[in-house]
Chains A and B, each alone.
Chain A
């Protein structure tokens, strides 16, 4: 009896201390945030850490990237945090369903990488064709439905991850250096090439090829004129009719299978898919190309319906996200994080050197689950952060002529 009483009191004391130390949200009971986004960013590790550190429960709702837009536009009450890509904003912001985030409540807002705030890296301008994040980063007022041209107090999204995409190749099957996007349509790879069947991204990869072939120089690959769309689709259609493509892919796993099974040897690809192919023991390289990369970026947005404790919790979560742990977590998977200084503090020196500085790995590089991803001595595809993000040519985009483009893309599939 006596003993249990003591334990009980000690337990109570500990509980009270924890209550004092924890943020206000926890004292009033746990808050759950409904988090809508693509499954790619919904990591279990982040969810657990957030619960530990903040007492906030993330309720992941995984949807396809098309559905992220559809949800944001048609069901703004169905989420508390939107994990959206920047190109989607051109569709979402005019609907008025997202609210500008107050820069004064984001602690590290001045630490955000200049890729987002000014469209530059290391003082150098990067390629801004397409829906570059810096073009859609700010709103003139909190409830504005169009974008501001200069930095303001109201942010559309707080960046989470971004990366630069290129072609994946099978070096063992190709056996020679690949240096240009033009190789995608090289008849040498007839029946062994693939492109992704997501019109808005597929056409930009095609545009990289058309430009590399020297057939046309686009003013903006992410915002083509009708004539440019016609030209690009004509080049693709000719290649399709000549049997250049083995298949088109629509989701991550399809792209992994095509490459791993030897159906294709060169195709548009996403960085984690290349890692997945390699983890099957199949050689695969995410090949940097001289024309540059097609980049993408994602971030958190808040619905206008969010108020009170949930709104506070959402800001707490976003501030936590930028504070280092999550950044290091993402950097270790080959993505880039929005605030580099805090992420660096959470990474080992050799990890930082490998992932961010493009140096040979001083020791084995391990995935978050402890498996070895790269042996000591390996060098990351595309080199350092600055080399890679500095070579971005264009960004995933929504064109003004989007309707026309989708119609032409359907025509291409039917050709």
Chain B
């Protein structure tokens, strides 16, 4: 589902500028846009329409029944009006997913900004900068899953961290919250996705005209004032794009949450995966439509904060 969620949201973010940038005069631009348009139509628009249609179908154990039923949506929101027992499954699942998104974004965005800031402003030589930047991407040479799983022997009850804590007498018994907990899920996400913030923020920072910073300094601004009033406002598009990447990746994830959370933490992606594996495609499609709507809503809000198109 991760892949699907990515492919749903990322092209949406990229497609917008293309559509907006098309000038009205002449037919040549239309022809130039045709290949991408066809690719998007075939691999994005049509599957999306199919998903939307299937979400209104009925299903049995072994077949899909073309229909126009609200069953899938009804079952998804069953009991959601009743808050006495802590809300319905769907609500709780989304809340849990949103909380993870927020936690991960709150760490990865400042952390990614810090790394990008260091690369852009503190590293002098162009060659050293590129070398360090490439170094940041080095972990991506190994698979996502392996980077995630390598945390397990480290954080486990009999893992390296617990053994060190015990040996240093910081704790007197192994700490269980280190692994198969929300902590370990967030930790793995930070490890996996910080680079997705570093790259766009770095790009934004490199495009800042250095004369603006000199001007601010000449005008008597302190280091913090420059950061707050000059650098961050100009880096906003990168920050927002980075945040969108991270949020979208976490929203659609079920592998990391599953493995690091010991399968005990609910996520929307996991629900969809379980439904697909039980051939409940229409229910999964309905779930995906709701997820898509919420992600689009969040992106709409984020892009309201910053006009990405204007600043790119």
Contact = CB atoms under 8 A, between A and B. Distances in A.
Nearest to B266: A414
A410 B271 contact: yes
B275 A406 contact: yes
A248 B156 CA distance: 15
Contact of A407 (B61, B75, B96, B180): B75
Contacts of B89: 407, 410-411, 414
Contacts of A197: 263
Given A263-B179, A409-B274, A413-B270, A248 B62 contact: no
B142 interface: no
B158 interface: yes
A391 to B, nearest CB: 29
A317 B283 CA distance: 40
A95 B62 CA distance: 6
A248 B61 contact: no
Contact of B61 (A245, A250, A398): A398
Contacts of B258: 250
Interface stretch (A66-74, A146-154, A344-352): A66-74
Given A66-B277, A402-B61, A407-B89, A261 B263 contact: no
Contacts, number: 87
Interface of B: 61-63, 75, 89, 92-93, 96, 152-153, 156-159, 176, 179-180, 258-259, 261-266, 270-271, 274-275, 277-280
Contacts of A95: 62-63
B92 A73 contact: no
A408 B275 CA distance: 12
B92 A247 contact: no
Nearest to A97: B62
Given A257-B152, A262-B157, A413 B263 contact: yes
Contacts of B157: 261-263
A118 interface: no
A407 B280 CA distance: 11
Contacts of B265: 413
Across the A-B interface, give the 10 residue pairs with the lowest CB-CB distance, nearest first.
A247-B262, A414-B266, A248-B263, A66-B277, A411-B89, A197-B263, A247-B180, A95-B62, A262-B158, A414-B92
A194 to B, nearest CB: 8
Nearest to B260: A247
Contacts of A69: 279
Nearest to B176: A191
A409 B280 CA distance: 14
